[in-house]
Amino acid sequence: MRHLYYIAIEGPIGVGKTSLVNLLSQQLGARTVFEEFDGNPFLPEFYKDPERFAFQTQLWFLLQRYQQQQDLRQVDMFHNLLITDYMFVKDRLFASLNLNENEMGLYDSIANLLERNVISPDLVIYLQADTDTLMRNISKRSRSYETSISYEYIDALNQVYNEFFFSYQDTPLVIINTNRIDFVNNDKDLNEVIDVIRQPVSGTKFFNPARDY
pLDDT digits (tens, 9 = 90+) for 131-175: 999 999 999 887 777 777 899 999 999 999 999 999 999 999 999
pLDDT score at 79: 56
pLDDT score at 1: 53
- How far is it, in rounded angstroms, from Cα 6 to Cα 197? 12
Top pLDDT among 167 and 71 is at 167
Residue 146 DSSP class: G
- How far is it, in rounded angstroms, from Cα 145 to Cα 50? 13
Burial category of 169 from C-beta neighbours within 10 Å (exposed 0-12, middle 13-18, buried 19 and up): exposed
119-146 burial, b at 16+ Cβ within 10 Å, e below that, comes to: eebbbbbbbbbebebbbebbeeeeeeeb
Instruction: Give backbone dihedrals phi and psi of 38, rounded to 5 degrees, phi first.
Output: -65, -25
pLDDT in tens, 29-65: 888 989 888 889 999 899 889 999 999 999 999 999 9
Full-model pTM: 0.90
Domains of the chain in start order, with CATH, are: 6-207 (3.40.50.300)
Top pLDDT among 27 and 73 is at 27
